[in-house]
Structure formats: C-alpha cells, structure tokens
Amino acid sequence: MIRCFLAINLSNETERYLSKTINECRPWFGKRVRWVRPENCHLTLKFLGDVEESALSSIDNAVKGVVSGYKDFEIGLGRAGVFPHQRSPRVLWLGLTGELNTLGRLQRDIDLSLAPLGFEPEKRTFVPHITLGRVKGGRGPLVDIQKFLKIDPPDLKTHVQKVHLYQSILKPSGAEYRPLATFPLKDSQ
C-alpha cells in the first residue's frame, strides 16, 4: 500500500513567495505550527489515502481521461485563511484566485471519475487553498492569527498545464512527496 494524492504544482515564482511568507510567519507562532516545506506546497485535488500498487493503472486511466479534456488555465494566490475557524485554527492556508470555476469542475470530475474505483467522493465543498502550516497540539486561539489573516499576496500566477499523482512518504522530519505520474491537460499534450 502506498499513500497517494493528486495535485497541481505551483509556479517557481509562487514557491519562492511561499517560502518567504512561511519564514516571515514562523516567529509569530513559535513552535505551535508545523510549517510545510516550501518545495512541498501544492494544490491538492484529491487525497486518495492508502492505495494498492495494483490500482495505480486504473487511477492513471481514470485521471488521464478527465484531465485530457481540459484546456490550460491560470490560478493565483489569494487571501490567507484558516480551517476550521479563527477561534481554534488547525490549518493555516492561502486561498486562490483566477479560473476557479474551471478548477472546481476539474476537481469534481476527477473526484467522480475515481468513485467507480472505490474512492469515496468528497462530501465537503472544495475550498481551493495552499496549506502553509498545521497547528500542533492543544486547541485554542493563536496569538498572532490576525496578523496572519492580513497577508495579501502579490498577483502571482500559476499556468496550470498538468495534474500530478504523488506518493506521500511520512517521515519524522515531515512528508516527502515522490511523483508517480503526470497527466497533461489538453493544450499541453
């Protein structure tokens, strides 16, 4: 069994901005937040969980069938937010802007294409975001959460041309992502 997810990678310029932002935010929260390594920042479309290696070719076919029907599109960084709410945040993230209707349709179509393979369709509304950090231990307010929520990123764009299937290898130092497959959109084939 391997732990997998489907994601969109971000532009190099966006990754550099996220690295700078994460470094600026670190002192605001001390050790209460486990920050994502900037090179691991991505937009998750579908978390598959533990998957039998024998199922990878079926996943490949399903996703390829969906993704090849989409034209390239653009997304950008939006305002900061938290899940589930400000009073007791668990995840710190940046939202997205741009062609969100296209992104939402792509996510939904991928989700539905995987249902016949036994992957439960997502019940929650898709909220496109880039996770920057996860709050460790204890619940309750974070002192500088309002400072975080005021982050207003510059107008950086990611030209979406591919969807990637990754293996997530959990290690004490943090997750390591290994690419398993790449699915080009219609204009990028």
Catalytic residue (one of 85, 129, 159, 164): 129
42 is catalytic: yes
- CA distances to 10, 89, 154 from 16, rounded to whole Å, are 10, 25, 12
Catalytic residue (one of 42, 85, 159, 164): 42
Name the residues annotated as catalytic.
42, 129
